[in-house]
Amino acid sequence: MTKVIITAIGSAGDVHPLLGIGAALAARGHQIVFCTHPPFAEAVARQGFAFVPIGTAAEYEAAMANPALWHPRTSFRTLWAVIAPTLRPHFDTLAALTDSDTVLVGTLWAFSARLMQELYRVPFVSVQVSPSTLLSAHAPPTHPRLTIPRGLPLAVKTALLRLIERQALDKVCGPTLNAVRAELGLAPARRIFGEWLHSTDGVLCLFPEWFAQAQPDWPAPRCLSGFPLFNDTAAPAPDPQLDAFLAAGERPVIFTAGSTLIDQDRYASAVSAALMEGGLRGILLTPDAPRAEAAAARADMHAASRGVLLRRRYVPLQTLLPRCRALVHHGGIGTAALAYAAGIPQVLTPFAHDQFDNAQRVVASGCGVRLDRALQPQALARALKQVLGSPAIATQCGRVQDRLGASPDGCEAAARYVEDFMRTRVCAQTVGRASLLALAASGHSV
């Protein structure tokens, strides 16, 4: 039995896929230690994993409620300001937890795990939940402010990408990261996102190649495991009002902005108006809705002449989407994957982070449209009319659904990759790594 220490930093879209992979590894007999933000402690406990907090619940909740985290101009710097103070404490935690039979697995921001690999040679699989952070000059990611036109010569795209790395990425993350590296006796890191953060042991990409084709300048070795369709970790409370609503008429459209901080009242008004204009029914998933069990699951419905909207705080998308006509969402890759699996069209309304790149890839797959003005009812109504009235989109959604149905489970494929990595690499490194960890534990520099 190998101890697998998983570090998942970010929103639910970053944490839930790693919970699914951890569950698949646990089913194979491995010990899982899960390091993430305190608000996910209950979800970790449900899987039976040991939980190790990163930061505090108050810090995480304050970060998620900060409008700057969701604005394209300030999101990266704001996110880093939350992560940076955790680098050294989490590194020390990992060093205390790691023994001679440990493998580390970590998402994009698991810089401490990468430092453990670099300093102590602990085997590490880095995970890319979405393709936007695999910085490629061959296929530059979509960004609201820094998108590099794909039609430019490769040399020009490479030069522009290096400039972005140096002036926009390393400039923000470099000072704190390199201060920690200096404390550990390591030389400064450069090209932090383009090169350094990717494990030299293996990179696990949680999406299929048809969604994001591997590029010549992506890190290697790597594995594209497919989507880990593990999104809903809690059994929902009975909700007879929701069941009655779903059974009462035409299949509804689902609306969600995920973890994105937006003006919920304005968004709900836009949704209501768009449904009324299109004669549609909808379900709005919003954090300010009443819980399903509250007030005997009182329906919070807004009737219009031709449409009805039901509000809910949370409904498992994996079971809800197959009963719906379309999904309007923020562009989270996990949400998009569940819509693909349900075979329904998507209207994507990106706000920040990787959402713009994910949205563009859904559009390129032929299964949806991108809408950058989500809070305008007329634009939302037009987008819904387009996706619901397009035979080509409907056909392509069916094709992709069939393709996913015939593909291996993404969590299982990812777990197999990690397990194969254990067999081929861990044994060869165990003796040297044990010596390094023993030196570190005795207080000697490595």
- Using DSSP's 3-state secondary structure scheme, residue 193 falls into helix
Q: Which positions of the chain have pLDDT values less than 50?
A: 295-307, 431, 444-446
Which two three-digit tokens encode residue 213?
């084709």
Read off the pLDDT of residues 298-347 as tens digits, 9 standing for 90 and up: 444 444 333 489 999 888 899 999 999 999 999 999 999 999 999 999 99
At 216 the pLDDT is 95
At 425 the pLDDT is 65
Which two three-digit tokens encode residue 186?
């390591």
Q: Closest Cα to residue 347, out of 398, 382, 317, 305?
A: 382
Which residue blocks in 343-390 are alpha helix, DSSP H? 355-364, 377-388
Q: Closest Cα to residue 181, out of 121, 256, 123, 115?
A: 115
At 296 the pLDDT is 41
CA pair distance 280, 21, nearest whole angstrom: 37
Contact (Cβ atoms closer than 8 angstroms) between residue 318 and residue 335: no
CB atoms within 10 A of CB 157: 19
The pTM score is: 0.89
**Sole residue written with tokens 């970060």:** 63
- Report how far apart the first and last C-alpha atoms of the chain are (Å, whole number): 28
At 303 the pLDDT is 40
Domains in the chain (CATH in brackets) are 3-228+409-441 (3.40.50.2000), 240-405 (3.40.50.2000)
At 300 the pLDDT is 47
Tell me whether strands 203-205 and 124-128 are parallel, antiparallel or unpaired. Answer: parallel
List, in order, residues 6 or more apart from 123 with CB less than 8 Å away. 102, 103, 104, 117, 201, 421, 422, 425, 426, 429, 433
Alpha-carbon 109 to chain mean position = 11
CB atoms within 10 A of CB 423: 9
Q: Closest Cα to residue 316, out of 232, 397, 247?
A: 232
